[in-house]
Amino acid sequence: MNDRRTINRRECLGHMGNGCLMLALNAMLQRDAFAASPSGWAPPDGKPHFPPKAKSVIWLFMRGGYSHLESFDPKPKLNELAGKSISETPWAYVQDPERLKKVRVVVVNDANGQQRKELFPLQVGYHKHGQCGAEISDWFPRIGSCADEIAFIRSMWTTDDNHGAQIQFHSGRHMLDARVPTIGAWINYGLGSLSDNLPQFITIGPRYFDVRDGHYLGPAYDAVPLKIDPANPLAYAKPELDVSSQEQAMKFDLVNHLNRLNEASYPGDASMRARIKSYELAYRMQRAVPEVINFNNETATTQRLYGLDNEVTKPFGMQLLAARRFVERGVRFVQIMHGDGAAGAWDAHSQLKVNHEKNAKRVDQPVAGLLKDLKQRGLLDETIVVFATEFGRTPGSQGSNGRDHHPFGFSVWMAGGGIKGGVVHGSTDEIGFHAEEHPHYVTDVHATLMKLLGLDARRLEVPGQKRLDIDYGNPIEQILA
């Protein structure tokens, strides 16, 4: 990697000026040999702290909370015990108040986020997949066909029993605590860019609870929201009034020319130099981004692989194909949120079967397509794919045919650069209630990513902003290749 280029790139996305986030200005001043920070603290230089195993992350987040019991964590016991109250089974202990204490309630007396006592049978069958024989529900057969690439983690837990857990999964903090940077922002902050023309942290799809990422790191580390619409992929990507592209090009030229002339009057003005860079990147970005999400030169086979030939799979498939094209071009972190609605499409309080069957159909083909496509292009070795959700769903039934929010145990998976494929790690108890063996708080996923990308999260700490131990998490060593 060209270091000098990296630094330039960081400067223009860097947080400039004399505003509240002095850290980035310090960063720049330091690079320009103006001054050393008095505390000895230095901002990240964009280089990994140790040799990385992967370069980029594609983060797939199923909003609303998919059922671990009907996806990646089969519990046949539930079929046996269906209709029984948990308290009359040998697993009555799972509802011991001490064990339920980790929940932190946001909405008091909510209709949702309750204990559901009556056990509800599995709504779908399971089959073994791949050489590893991992059991995956029949709603995800194509993801199943990639089982040997995937490390399934069946022992996640979180503490928010409502959809604020989405914030928690991304940042590690409960909704009632201060908002802190998300994992994407940390990676954006910690690593230099691999692209001259593209933002390095992109978000696609609906967000609701928290549309920011950078928080105290600053808006420069927020994800850039994109739409998979070549005509209008990002805000203000093209002139809203009639301006010819030649006029626009000349104006960008003039602006930077005048700003450079102005440097004579204001030598050492860091923000002016940052602004010049920002215009250079903006100009390239408004051309590069539509090109990335134009799939004309993708073969029909590739398009089919992502399900672009099918109306059901096409919307998510396009997002994932775009994700591959983005990481191919050096974007570090592509965050894709699946599922409309305030709470998220996977929020199956009733009719879980109908809900999950429908949603799984939308994502199964594209996700498997992504893994296969990354693999055949040799990108899977350097890209980590995360498939996650904010919490699982109750072993007990809500109403007659749904499951409620369940923070005590749930499943996610990871695949790609540095991840061991064909691994099933951790487990919940036999009714899928608590994460029992190797329980992992959500930030363990963050720590795993950081480790694979070559970052020491503790070295990224910012003065005046104390991170808690739980914010860092611990890498899940057992799934590392």
Partner 1 sequence: MFRPLLPRLVLVASSLVACSLCAEDVDYQRDIKPILRDRCFACHGVLKQQSDLRVDTGDFLRSGGASGPAIVPGDLKESLLLERVSATDIDERMPPEGDALTADQIALLETWVATGAATPPDEQPQEDPRDHWAFQPPVKVDLPSVVDEPWSHHPIDRLIAAGHREWNLQPVGVVDRRLLLRRVSLDLTGLPPTEEQYASFLNDDSPKAYEHAVDLLLASPHYGERGGRQWMDVWRYTDWYGLGYQLRNSQKHIWHWRDWIVDSLNDDKGYDRMIVEMFAADEVAPTDRETLRATGYLARNYYLFNRTTWLDDTIEHTAKAFLGLTMNCTKCHDHKYDPISQVDYYRFRAIFEPYQVRLDAVPGETDFDKNGLPRVFDLHPEIPTYLHVRGDPKQPDLSEVITPGVPAIFDRGQFEVHPVELPAEAYRPELQPFVLEDQLAEVERVRENLQAELKTANRLRALALQRANTTELLTSLTSDSSLGSAQPETRIWIDDFVTDDAELWEAGPGNWSCTDGNLQQRDIGAERRYMRSRLEHPADFVARLRFRIHGGQKWKSVGLAFDVQGDQEKLVYLSGVSPGSKLQVSYRDESGNVYPSAGRLDRAVALNQTYDLMVAVRDRLMNIVLDGQLVLVYELPVQRMAGFIDLVSFDSLAEFEHVEICRLPEDIELVPTTVAADDNSAKLTLAQADAAVAVCERRLSVCELRPKVLRTAHAADVARAASASSSAEKASELVRAAARAARELELAKAESAVAELRRDLAAARIGNDKKKTTELDKKLSTAMENVKKAAEAIEQPGETYRSLRASLKAPEGPDESEASQLAPYPNTSTGRRTALARWMASPNNPLTARVAVNHIWLRHFGQPLVESVSDFGLRAPRPPQQKLLDWLAVEFMESGWSIKQLHRLIVTSRLYQLDTSRRDADPQTIAADPKNEYYWCRMPIRMESQVIRDSLLTLAGKLDSTLGGPTIDPKQKDKVYRRSLYFTHSRDVQHKFLSMFDDADILRCYRRSESIVPQQALTLANSELALSMAREITARLQEQDGAVSDEEFVVAAFKLLLAKTPTEEERATCGAFLAKLHTLPAVSNAAMPDVRARENLVHALINHNDFVTIR
184 with 333: CB under 8 angstroms? yes
Min dist CB 267 to partner 1, Å, is: 6
415 with 421: CB under 8 angstroms? yes
Min dist CB 364 to partner 1, Å, is: 30
Residue from 82, 107, 354, 481 binding partner 1 (CB under 8 A): 107
Min dist CB 479 to partner 1, Å, is: 24
Residue from 123, 137, 168, 286 binding partner 1 (CB under 8 A): 286
Residue from 51, 108, 231, 400 binding partner 1 (CB under 8 A): 108
Give me the amino acid identity at 273. Answer: R
Min dist CB 26 to partner 1, Å, is: 9
Binding pattern for the stretch 454-473 against partner 1, x by CB under 8 A and - elsewhere: ----------x----x----
Q: Rounded to whole angstroms, what are the CA distances from 100 to 62, 248, 348, 351?
A: 25, 60, 22, 26
Percent helix, strand, coil in the chain, to 5, is: 35, 15, 50
# residues contacting partner 1 (CB under 8 A) = 73
Binding pattern for the stretch 35-64 against partner 1, x by CB under 8 A and - elsewhere: x-----------------------------
The helix (H) or strand (E) run that includes residue 355 is helix 352-376
Q: Is residue 478 a contact point for partner 1 (CB under 8 A)?
A: no
Residue from 44, 172, 190, 199 binding partner 1 (CB under 8 A): 199
Name the nearest CA neighbour of 380 among 411, 413, 419: 419
Min dist CB 265 to partner 1, Å, is: 5
Q: Quote the DSSP letter at residue 339.
A: -
Which is it for strands 134-137 and 126-129: parallel, antiparallel or unpaired?
A: antiparallel
Listed ranges 18-26, 74-82, 369-377, 415-423: which one lies at the site for partner 1 (CB under 8 A)? 18-26
Listed ranges 19-27, 184-192, 299-307, 386-394: which one lies at the site for partner 1 (CB under 8 A)? 19-27
Of 110 and 138, which CB lies nearer to partner 1 in the complex structure? Answer: 110
Residue from 84, 102, 174, 275 binding partner 1 (CB under 8 A): 275
Min dist CB 78 to partner 1, Å, is: 30
Helices and strands per DSSP (H, E), number in the chain: 14, 15
Min dist CB 102 to partner 1, Å, is: 12
Binding pattern for the stretch 111-150 against partner 1, x by CB under 8 A and - elsewhere: ----------------------------------------
Q: Is residue 34 a contact point for partner 1 (CB under 8 A)?
A: yes
Residue from 7, 8, 10, 13 binding partner 1 (CB under 8 A): 13
Min dist CB 361 to partner 1, Å, is: 28
Beta-carbon contacts of residue 6 (< 8 Å; ≥ 6 apart): 46, 47, 192, 193
Find the binding residues for partner 1 in span 296-315 (CB under 8 A): none
Min dist CB 3 to partner 1, Å, is: 21
Residue from 23, 119, 228, 281 binding partner 1 (CB under 8 A): 281
Answer positive or negative: Cα dihedral of 10, 14, 16, 22. Answer: negative
| DSSP per residue, 75-101 | -THHHHHTTSBGGGSTTGGGG-HHHHT
Binding pattern for the stretch 159-198 against partner 1, x by CB under 8 A and - elsewhere: -----------------x--x-------------------
Tell me the CA end-to-end span of the chain in Å, nearest whole number. Answer: 24
Q: Rounded to whole angstroms, what are the CA distances from 79 to 63, 154, 253, 358, 395?
A: 27, 19, 68, 22, 11
Min dist CB 188 to partner 1, Å, is: 12
Of 345 and 370, which CB lies nearer to partner 1 in the complex structure? Answer: 345
Instruction: Measure the CA–CA gap between 408 and 297, rounded to whole angstroms.
Output: 45
Of 82 and 342, which CB lies nearer to partner 1 in the complex structure? Answer: 342
Backbone angles phi and psi of 190, in degrees to 5: -80, -25
Q: Quote the DSSP letter at residue 419.
A: B
* E strands in 96-205: 126-129, 134-137, 150-157, 201-204
Min dist CB 218 to partner 1, Å, is: 5
Min dist CB 266 to partner 1, Å, is: 5
| Phi-psi domain of 268 (left: phi exceeds 0; alpha: psi -120 through 50; beta: other) | left
Of 29 and 462, which CB lies nearer to partner 1 in the complex structure? Answer: 29
394 with 406: CB under 8 angstroms? yes
Q: Is residue 340 a contact point for partner 1 (CB under 8 A)?
A: no
Find the binding residues for partner 1 in span 213-272 (CB under 8 A): 218-220, 224, 234-244, 246-248, 250-252, 254-255, 257-259, 261-262, 264-269, 271-272
Residue listed under structure tokens 């519990």: 75
| DSSP per residue, 45-82 | -SS-SS--S-SEEEEEEETT---GGGTT---THHHHHT
